[in-house]
Structure 1
Amino acid sequence: MSDRLKALADAGVSIWLDDLSRERIETGNLADLVKERSVVGVTTNPTIFAGAIADGERYDEQVRRLVADGADVDKVIFELTTEDVRNACDVLAPVAERTADDGRVSIEVEPTLANDTEATIASAQALWEAVDRSNALIKIPATKEGLPAITAVIAQGISVNVTLIFGDVRYREVMDAYLAGLEQARDNGLDLGRIRSVASFFVSRVDTEVDKRLEAIGSEEALALRGKAAVANARVAYAAFEEVMASDRWKQLAEAGANPQRPLWASTGVKNPDYSDTLYVTDLVVADTVNTMPEKTMEAFADHGEVEGDQVTGRADEAQQVFAQLAKVGIDFEDVLVALEHEGVDKFKKSWIELTETVEGQMEKARS
C-alpha cells in the first residue's frame, strides 16, 4: 500500500478514482486500487465511458446482443454504463459496509438535460432503478434547473452527487437543495440514514480561466496571482459548508439520522505544468472531504505527495484576500464563475455527443 496515499486517507480525505472501465472491473484492477491505493469510491462521466468503450473489446458482446435486439444508441449507452456502475458498486460494497459514507460509485444523468428539471428527475430515477445498488450516486449538475431536481430526488431517497459547482453562492444553493430534499424525505417517513450525497466543487478549471485573464492583463501584480484562485475558492466553499453544518436546520436533520453532504474536490488534475502536479490534493487536505483524482494524479501523490495537516479550516479570510487582490488587478470573479458554468455545461453536452458517436461506431461494427 502507498504510504503517502494512506497518510492522505488517515487525514480524513476519502480518495475516489475519477475513472472506470469494464477492463478495470474484470481484471481486478479496481479491487487492487482499493487494496493498494486506498481508493474508496469512483466517479464517472460520459468522456470516461467513451474512452473505455472505444478502447475495450469487453463491451463488444453486449453491444452485439443489444443491436440484435433492436436497441437504439440511447438504450445501448444506458445498458453499457449502468452495467459497469452496478459491477463497480459490487466491488466497492465491502467499503460501503465498513465505512459511513464511502464505497460509492457515481453515474451521471444525461448532460443534455442540464437545463430541464423534469427530464433530469426522470433520468435520475431511471439510472437509480437500473443500477439498483444502495451505494450508487446519481450525478446531477448544479444548474438553476438542476437544483429543484436535486431536492426532488433526495426526497425520494435517491443518493446524489451534485456536480459542476464553481462558486460558493451556487454551492450554498446546492446545500439548501439537499437539506430541503432531506426535510421532504423525513416528512415522507423515509430513512434518512440511507441517503448519501456529495457536492462536487470543481477546482483546476478555476485557475485555468483566471490565469488566462491574468495573463491577458500581463502586469507583474496580475501574474503574481496565477495559481492562487482555485484553492482560495475551495477554501471559501469549505467555510460555507462549516456554516451550514453548524446551523439549527442541519442539527435537526442530523438528529433525525441524516448524513452530511460532504464537499468533494473535483477536477483535481493539474493543467499547468508549471504547478506541482499534486497541488489540488496537497493544498486541500481537510477531514471529511472527498478528493476524486485521475489515476495520473493519484500516482503522482503516491510517489511524492505530502500531507502537511489541515490546509483548509480557518483559511477563508486568507482566501478572501486573494479575491480582493484579483479584483484590484481587474478580475471580475463573478464573471469567471458564470463563464465556467456555461463552459462546464457545454463540455458536458459535448462529452455526451462524444460518447454517442463512440457507441454508434461500435454498433456499426456489431452490424457488419
Structure 2
Amino acid sequence: MNPLRRLHTEQRQSPWLDDLTREQLTNGELRRLVERGVRGLTSNPSTFARAVAGSSRYDSQLAELVRTGDLDEAYWAMAVSDVEAALGVLKPVHDASGGEDGFVSLEIAPQLAHDTAATVAAARALHERIDARNLHVKVPATAAGVAAIRQLIADGRNVNVTLIFGLARYEQVIEAYLGGLEERARRDPQADLSGVRSVASFFLSRVDTAVDHRLGELGGEEATAIRGQAALAQAKLAYQLFRRRFSGQRWDALAARGAQLQRPLWASTGTKNPLDPDTRYVDELIGPDTVTTLPPTTLEAVDDHGTVARTVDGGVDFAERTVERLQELGIDLDEVGHDLERDGLTAFTAAYDQVIELLATKSGAFGRAVPA
C-alpha cells in the first residue's frame, strides 16, 4: 500500500490535493490521484490564476461568457465549472467516508474578508449556486471572518476556515465553530448536527519563512539555533488545543446531537527552505482526525518517500519551549500571524485581479474586448 493510502488507513489522516486545474479534470489526472489515495481538494484564487494563465482549455467557455460583458461573473462561472466537475469526481469518497472526506473547497472573493455581512452573503450564495453536500466554502479567519463562520455554521453550511497563522486566532475559530453548532441546536432542539462539516486550515511554511526572517535580523547564536522550528511548534500546540477543546462536557453535549469534529488541516506544506526535507511539514504532523493538504510536488514526494508514523503529538514539551524561546527573543507570534494574514489576503486579491486582467486580455482576442 502506498504512503498516501497508509496515511488514512493507518493514521486516520486524510491527504487532500492543494491544486485544481481543468487539465486534471479533462485528462483524468484527478481521478487517478483519487485512486492513489487523495481524499479531498482545496483551491484558492492563486491556484485558479495559475490554471487560467497556463491553459487554453478555458478559452471556449470564456468566449461565450464575455458576451455578457461581466468579467467577474466569467471568473465565477469558470471556477464553479471546475469545482462542480471536481465535486463529481470526489463524491464517491464523500459517500464512502460517511461525509468525512471527499470535499472540494472554493474560496469567497478575498476583497470581502473584512466584511462579516458580505462574507456571509457570498458564502450562502456559493452554497446555493453549487448544490453539493461535499462543497466547502473557504472563509478567511480574519476577525470579521470568525464572526461570519459562526453564522454560517449556525446555518448548517460547510466551511473551510483558511489563513490561520497563530494559536490565538485558531482558538477563536474553534469557538466560532462550537458556538455556531450551539446556536443551530438552540434554533431547532430536534436538529441533527451531523450534516455540518468544517476544517480549520493552519498554515506552516509561511510561518517559518516570516519568523526566520525576523531571527536573521536579530542575529546571534540562539536566534540561529531556533530557525525553522516555529511552524511545527505552533502546529503541535494547535493539535493539543484541538484535543482539549473537542472533549469534555460542552463537546459531549454537541456530539450527542451528531456534531462532527472540526479537523485541523495542515496548509502550506510545501517547503520553502531548500535545505529542508521536501516532506518535512507532512512527516512531522501525522496523526488522527487531521487533514494534510499537498501541492502536486509535495504529494509526489510523500508518495515516493514519505514516512508514515504518528508524529503530531510527539515533542510537545519541545514545542512549548520553542514558543517560549521565541518570545524571550522578542518574536511576537501573534504579530507574525497578523502580518501573514494581511499578506495572504493581499496575495489572493492580487491573484484575483490578475485573473480578471487576463480575462480582459483574452476577451480582446475573441473580438469582444471587455475592460477589467
TM-score (norm 2): 0.94
1:334 Cα deviation (Å)? 2.6
Match of 2:360 in 1: 360
Does the C-alpha gap of structure 1 residues 95 and 113 become closer, same or farther in structure 2, counting only changes over 3 Å?
same
Give a deviation string over 1:98-135, Cα, whole Å, max 9, x none. 11310000000000101011111111011111121110
Match of 2:200 in 1: 199
**Alpha-carbon distance in structure 1 between the residues aligned to 2:26 and 2:271:** 29
Match of 2:326 in 1: 326
Match of 1:141 in 2: 140
Match of 2:240 in 1: 239
Quote the RMSD (CA, aligned, Å): 1.4
Match of 1:220 in 2: 221
Match of 1:347 in 2: 347
**Alpha-carbon distance in structure 2 between the residues aligned to 1:99 and 1:286:** 18
Q: Name the SS for the 2:227 alignment partner.
A: coil
Q: Name the SS for the 2:348 alignment partner.
A: helix
Q: Name the SS for the 1:162 alignment partner.
A: strand
Match of 1:280 in 2: 281
**Alpha-carbon distance in structure 2 between the residues aligned to 1:136 and 1:144:** 23
> 2:100 aligned with 1:99, yes or no?
no
Where structure 2 has 5 or more consecutive residues not aligned to the other structure, the ranges are none
1:223 Cα deviation (Å)? 0.8
Match of 1:121 in 2: 120
**Alpha-carbon distance in structure 2 between the residues aligned to 1:119 and 1:342:** 18
**Alpha-carbon distance in structure 2 between the residues aligned to 1:50 and 1:361:** 14
Match of 1:67 in 2: 66
Where structure 1 has 5 or more consecutive residues not aligned to the other structure, the ranges are none
Give a deviation string over 1:169-195, Cα, whole Å, max 9, x none. 111110111112112222333442111
Give a deviation string over 1:28-55, Cα, whole Å, max 9, x none. 110000012x100000001111111122
**Alpha-carbon distance in structure 2 between the residues aligned to 1:14 and 1:300:** 16
Does the C-alpha gap of structure 1 residues 281 and 257 become closer, same or farther in structure 2, counting only changes over 3 Å?
same
AA aligned opposite 1:334: D
Match of 2:75 in 1: 77
The answer to whether the 8 A contact 1:147-1:177 is kept is yes
Match of 1:253 in 2: 254
**Alpha-carbon distance in structure 2 between the residues aligned to 1:314 and 1:272:** 23
**Alpha-carbon distance in structure 1 between the residues aligned to 2:63 and 2:192:** 41
Give a deviation string over 1:46-65, Cα, whole Å, max 9, x none. 11111111222221121111
The answer to whether the 8 A contact 2:168-2:334 is kept is no
Match of 2:51 in 1: 52
Give a deviation string over 1:202-226, Cα, whole Å, max 9, x none. 0111100111111112212111111
AA aligned opposite 1:126: A
**Alpha-carbon distance in structure 1 between the residues aligned to 2:34 and 2:319:** 34
